[in-house]
């Protein structure tokens, strides 16, 4: 890998440029949770309609992840990287002009296509450009930009949405993302695709790459990744897209629920940083299993919490461990496949995971509408997250400090 890896200044620049786009992607997802809470009040939306706004985004992300993963192995990481961010940015900006539920849902779908396509391609590009001993830490640090975006979203949600409405929030999230497109224009493509081993991608058909992901040699890691992605995405989108609304349903005023979610969101950054430190010291499996177990425990505690202190403390732990696990997931996924079908494998895993992103928000919406108690609802997230931890423990292999396979 040393001959392929970018030097330190180059891959740090790559980390920053990719991270800026990641930040604004997270802003959109984070703002959506606050916007949904405001829309439910302005448009008199039902809990089922709010659920579908979250889930239609998940459908787009599944399609985007699959298409982008396949295309990135054929035409390169960089062009797909830029195109997906453009789709995301334009659809996000147009959302500010939406006047009906149907139009907003359609735009949420295209936002999902861009976002779902970008994330696995971005993490693979960074992973392929960094030396083995720094790879896991660097990809987790890339993911930490997501926490910064969420924190900014919480700030916008708390200070601007109550004063200026949800339309301004969509514009704030979209305009800076276009600047990230400009930054990425001069970004180099993956050095592995420029090396002789990477030339094989030109000879491999899309269908051959898809079949290779489930070949005998890669079936076990693929099964593990698909279960892991489903469980992590199910719990994350099910919980975090609904967090402000859940706080509101628990009896807090809308502005107060925004304030408490802002406090909880601050724990995401130390969650990423701790995972970045541990992932090269103790390995990918250790971080994923331990952080997912603690995510499960935290979600269980959040569901049962009734006091303000209990909600905030369990919410802080939920943010810390869930987002730390996300960072490890993005570091771990590209390491399972060779260069010739790496983004195909990563994109397929992410696409299957997005089914969880579709179902997660629907679970809370429909169970809440049926007057099911929050302890029972969050017990579902407890169970699903533990299944993800078991998949890594029993099926996963450790990849710390190992060279990527060409």
Nearest to 403 by CA among 334, 340, 346: 334
Q: Which CATH architecture has domain 8-185+198-395?
A: Up-down Bundle (1.20)
Residue 255: per-residue pLDDT: 66
Tokens linked to 387: 């299944």
pLDDT of residue 313: 93
CB atoms within 10 A of CB 289: 21
Block mean pLDDT (10 aa), the chain, length 406: 48 80 78 76 78 82 91 87 85 86 91 88 84 85 85 79 75 67 69 56 72 94 97 89 74 73 84 92 95 96 87 92 92 91 91 88 81 87 96 93 74
Q: What is the pLDDT, as a whole number, of residue 7?
A: 53
pTM, to two decimals: 0.81
What are the Cα distances from residue 217, in Å, to 213, 389, 393, 406? 9, 22, 19, 15
> So what's the pLDDT on residue 367?
85
Task: Count CB-CB contacts under 10 A for residue 42.
Answer: 10
Domain residue extents for the chain: 8-185+198-395
Among 391, 271, 268, 265, residue whose Cα is nearest residue 332: 391
Closest by Cα among 124, 125, 129, 139 to 279:
139
Do residues 246 and 50 lie in contact, with contact meaning Cβ atoms separated by under 8 Å? no
- What pLDDT, on a 0 to 100 scale, did the predictor assign at position 178? 66
The pLDDT assigned to 66 comes to 92
**Closest-CA residue to 353 (of 109, 108, 61, 50):** 61
Residue 256 has, within 13 A of its CA and on its CB side, a CA count of 10
């Amino acid at each position: 890998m040393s001959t392929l890896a970018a030097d330190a200044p180059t891959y740090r620049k790559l980390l920053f440029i990719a991270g800026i786009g990641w930040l604004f992607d997270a802003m959109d997802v984070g703002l959506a949770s606050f916007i949904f809470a405001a829309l439910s009040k302005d448009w008199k939306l039902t809990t089922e309609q709010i659920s579908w706004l979250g889930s239609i985004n998940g459908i787009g992300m599944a399609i985007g992840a699959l298409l982008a993963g396949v295309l990135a192995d054929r035409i390169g990481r960089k062009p797909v990287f830029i195109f997906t961010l453009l789709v995301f940015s334009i659809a996000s900006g147009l959302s500010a002009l939406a006047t009906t539920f149907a139009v907003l849902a359609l735009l949420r779908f295209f936002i999902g296509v861009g976002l779902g396509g970008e994330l696995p391609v971005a993490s693979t590009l960074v992973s392929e450009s960094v030396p083995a001993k720094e790879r896991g830490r660097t990809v987790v640090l890339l993911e930490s930009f997501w926490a910064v975006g969420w924190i900014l979203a919480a700030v916008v949600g708390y200070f601007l949405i109550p004063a200026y409405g949800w339309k301004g929030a969509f514009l704030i999230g979209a305009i800076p993302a276009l600047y990230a497109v400009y930054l990425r224009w001069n970004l180099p493509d993956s050095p592995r695709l420029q090396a002789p081993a990477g030339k094989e991608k030109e000879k491999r058909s899309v269908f051959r790459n898809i079949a290779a992901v489930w070949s005998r040699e890669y079936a076990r890691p693929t099964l593990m990744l698909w279960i892991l992605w489903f469980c992590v995405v199910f719990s994350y989108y099910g919980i975090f897209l609904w967090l402000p609304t859940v706080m509101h349903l628990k009896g807090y005023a809308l502005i107060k629920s925004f304030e408490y979610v802002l406090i909880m969101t601050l724990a995401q950054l130390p969650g990423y940083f701790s995972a970045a430190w541990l992932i090269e010291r103790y390995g990918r499996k250790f971080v994923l299993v331990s952080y997912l177990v603690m995510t499960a425990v935290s979600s269980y505690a959040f569901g049962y919490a009734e006091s303000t202190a209990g909600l905030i403390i369990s919410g802080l732990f939920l943010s810390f461990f869930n987002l730390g696990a996300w960072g490890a997931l993005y570091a771990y996924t590209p390491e399972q496949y060779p260069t010739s079908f790496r983004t195909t494998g990563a994109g397929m895993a992410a696409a299957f995971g997005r089914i969880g992103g579709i179902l997660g928000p629907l679970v809370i919406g429909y169970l809440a509408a049926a007057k099911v108690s929050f302890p029972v609802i969050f017990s579902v997230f407890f169970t699903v997250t533990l299944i993800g931890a078991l998949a890594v423990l029993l099926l996963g292999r450790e990849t710390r400090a190992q060279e990527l396979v060409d």
